[in-house]
Amino acid sequence: MEKEKVVIIGANSFQNPLILKAKEKGYETHVFAWASGDVGEKTADYFYPISITEKDEILEKCKEIKPSAVCSIASDLAVITVNYLADKLGLVGNDPAYSTICTNKYEMRKAFKENGVKVPQFIHVQENEKYDISSFEFPIIVKPTDRSGSRGVTKVEKIEDLDAAIKNSIGYSFEKKAIVEEYIDGPEYSCECISYKGKHNFLTVTKKYTTGAPHFIETAHKQPSDLTDEQIEKVKEEVFKGLDSLHVEYGPSHSEFKVDKNGDIRIIEIGARMGGDCIGSDLVKISTGYDFIDLTLDVALGKELKLEKVVEPKIAFIKFIFSKEDLDKMNEIKEKHNELIYFISEITDLEHDIVDSSSRFGYYILRLDNEEQLKELELV
């Protein structure tokens, strides 16, 4: 019998677990991405060296492939293409009419505001355009409208620094636009969900550790978070409202938020995809027992969502390497508590400057039985 086929958009290491999962489940994988030596080029059954932004070229190939699903897990650019293809091929996906509000930070803020999701004050800025921030209070956040990985994100404390920050953000932006918004103070988290037929299923909350101002590069993530059940109920309410306002009906989502000084949940942004940094691909499975990638594939295949635990839930922690000290710590854990190590990535030179999340030196993932172990290792 001919194998059912799954089209996967993107071939880098973030998408690879999806390719492997689809193969493990007996599907024939057809992977599209710009050829650049990424791991998925080799792991795919069929690889097509076509950039993920070439929607129509990919569509033509898909018409020949006749896949049962089109899927991707961790990139906003891929989300746009997946929605487009699923719609054209009559497969399960989110409506492409809403791809822009799901991927452009300015359009997303507008959609949130229109739907009663609490947003900070925000404006749009482009090159050589005057802007008025007279009603804003400092600090202010400036970021490109359409990038990720904290590229071009700056916290600005005083007016003299604003122009340079805007210029920097616009420089990073694909569409050469930036968003300027009020800074929301408080600890930062993300909420991981999976939706099916418009119903959102809460999976977990991730606690995020960052370098802080000015660039907020992630240093670690932990699941479950330190939020109380009562707080989690508030998170669900606000996040589900956010997902509804973006018309997210199917698939994984990653909603970044802060808890402000009044205890309110303040959404920073929502990705209609899994969280990067191994949050979706590894941490969710470790901490909830659900196979998030498997569930995502099932949703894309139009299968009824069945939330069943496949492993015993534990504590999941990912630590990024920023220095020689971090690396020494990792080696010490490996030596003394090797049973806690779930994964170690490749580690780069330790020499260059870390300016955004893609320039971090590497990472390791731990799977622990209790919080005490993390404290003993002095990781939190």
Give residues in contact with Mg ion (CB under 5 A). Answer: 256, 269
- Helix, strand, or coil here: 6? strand
189, 261, 172, 275: which is closest to 232 by C-alpha?
189
47 backbone dihedrals φ, ψ, rounded to 5°: -115, 135
Q: What mask, x for binding ligand ATP by CB under 6 A, covers residues 77 to 116?
A: ----------------------------x-----------
Does 268 sit near ligand ATP (CB under 6 A)? yes
149 binds, among Mg ion, ligand ATP, none (CB under 5 to 8 A by kind): ligand ATP
C-alpha–C-alpha distance, residues 330 and 344, integer Å: 9
User: Which region among 176-184, 219-227, 290-298, 346-354 touches ligand ATP (by CB under 6 A)?
Assistant: 176-184
Smallest distance, ligand ATP to C-beta of residue 137, A: 12
By beta-carbon proximity to ligand ATP, the closer residue of 181 and 326 is 181
Site of tokens 């071009």: 152
Asked whether 319 and 341 are in contact (CB, 8 A), the reply is: no
By beta-carbon proximity to Mg ion, the closer residue of 224 and 271 is 271
Site of tokens 């920050």: 165
C-alpha–C-alpha distance, residues 170 and 49, integer Å: 29
Smallest distance, ligand ATP to C-beta of residue 263, A: 16
By beta-carbon proximity to ligand ATP, the closer residue of 62 and 235 is 235
- Out of 143, 221, 314, 319, the only residue in the binding site for ligand ATP (CB under 6 A) is 143
183, 155, 191: which is closest to 260 by C-alpha?
183
Report the run of H or E that residue 91 belongs to, with start and end: none
**Which residue stretches of the chain are H helix?**
16-24, 40-43, 55-65, 76-89, 99-103, 105-114, 162-172, 229-245, 284-288, 292-300, 324-336, 371-376
58 binds, among Mg ion, ligand ATP, none (CB under 5 to 8 A by kind): none
Q: What mask, x for binding ligand ATP by CB under 6 A, covers residues 187 to 226?
A: -x---------------------x-----x----------
By beta-carbon proximity to Mg ion, the closer residue of 269 and 282 is 269
By beta-carbon proximity to ligand ATP, the closer residue of 143 and 200 is 143
Does 131 sit near ligand ATP (CB under 6 A)? no
**Number of residues in contact with ligand ATP, rule: CB under 6 A?**
20
- Helix, strand, or coil here: 380? coil
C-alpha–C-alpha distance, residues 133 and 114, integer Å: 21
Does 183 sit near ligand ATP (CB under 6 A)? yes
Does 282 sit near ligand ATP (CB under 6 A)? no
Residue at 39: amino acid letter: V
Does 259 sit near ligand ATP (CB under 6 A)? no
- Out of 28, 249, 256, 294, the only residue in the binding site for ligand ATP (CB under 6 A) is 256
Residues in the chain: 380
Smallest distance, Mg ion to C-beta of residue 140, A: 17
Does 147 sit near ligand ATP (CB under 6 A)? yes
Give the strand order in the sheet containing 46-48: 46-48, 28-32, 5-9, 69-71
Report the run of H or E that residue 85 belongs to, with start and end: helix 76-89
By beta-carbon proximity to ligand ATP, the closer residue of 86 and 239 is 239
* Bridge partners, 317 (sequence order): 222, 366
Which residues inside 345-374 make contact with ligand ATP, applying CB under 6 A?
A: 357
Does 184 sit near ligand ATP (CB under 6 A)? yes
Please tell me what DSSP assigns to residue 367: E
271 backbone dihedrals φ, ψ, rounded to 5°: -105, 130
Binding positions for ligand ATP, rule: CB under 6 A: 105, 120, 141, 143, 147-151, 153, 181, 183-184, 188, 210, 216, 256, 268-269, 357
